[in-house]
Structure 1
Amino acid sequence: MISLSSHLIIPSDELDISAIRATGSGGQNVNKVSTAIHLRFDVVNSSLPDFYKQRLLNLSDQRITSDGVIVIKAQSHRTQEKNRQEALDRLKDLILAATVIKKSRRPTRPTKGSQLRRVDKKVKRGRTKSLRGKPVL
Structure 2
Amino acid sequence: MDDGLRVTDRWTVPAAELRERFSRSSGPGGQGVNTTDSRVELSFDVAGTTSLPPALRERVRESLAGRLVDGVLTIAASEHRAQLANREAARERLVALLREAVAPPPPPRRPTRPSRGAKERRLADKKRQSQRKRDRRADGD
| TM-score bracket relative to the smaller structure | 0.7 to 0.9
State the alpha-carbon separation in 2 of the partners of residues 6 and 133 from structure 1: 67
Indicate how the Cα distance of structure 1 residues 24 and 77 shifts in structure 2: closer, same or farther if over 3 A, else same.
Answer: closer
> Structure 2, unaligned stretches of length 5 or more?
none
TM-score (structure 2 length as normaliser): 0.84
Q: How big is the alpha-carbon RMSD for the aligned residues of Structure 1 and Structure 2? A: 1.9
Report the counterpart of residue 71 of structure 2 in structure 1. 68
* Matched letter for residue 109 of structure 1: R
Report the counterpart of residue 104 of structure 1 in structure 2. 108
Report the counterpart of residue 39 of structure 1 in structure 2. 42
Indicate how the Cα distance of structure 1 residues 78 and 31 shifts in structure 2: closer, same or farther if over 3 A, else same.
Answer: same
Q: How many residues align?
A: 135
Report the counterpart of residue 127 of structure 2 in structure 1. 123
* Matched letter for residue 10 of structure 2: H
State the alpha-carbon separation in 1 of the partners of residues 65 and 26 from structure 2: 22
The secondary structure found in structure 1 opposite 2:93 is: helix
The secondary structure found in structure 1 opposite 2:76 is: strand
Report the counterpart of residue 81 of structure 2 in structure 1. 78
1:53 to 38, 53, 57: 57
> Structure 1, unaligned stretches of length 5 or more?
none
In the alignment, is the contact (CA less than 8 A) between 1:52 and 1:95 conserved in 2? no
Report the counterpart of residue 19 of structure 1 in structure 2. 22
TM-score (structure 1 length as normaliser): 0.86
The secondary structure found in structure 2 opposite 1:23 is: coil
Shift of 1:44: 2.0
Indicate how the Cα distance of structure 1 residues 22 and 61 shifts in structure 2: closer, same or farther if over 3 A, else same.
Answer: farther
State the alpha-carbon separation in 2 of the partners of residues 61 and 77 from structure 1: 28
In the alignment, is the contact (CA less than 8 A) between 2:47 and 2:57 conserved in 1? yes
State the alpha-carbon separation in 2 of the partners of residues 32 and 70 from structure 1: 27
Indicate how the Cα distance of structure 1 residues 134 and 44 shifts in structure 2: closer, same or farther if over 3 A, else same.
Answer: closer
Q: Verify: 1:5 aligned to 2:41, yes or no.
A: no
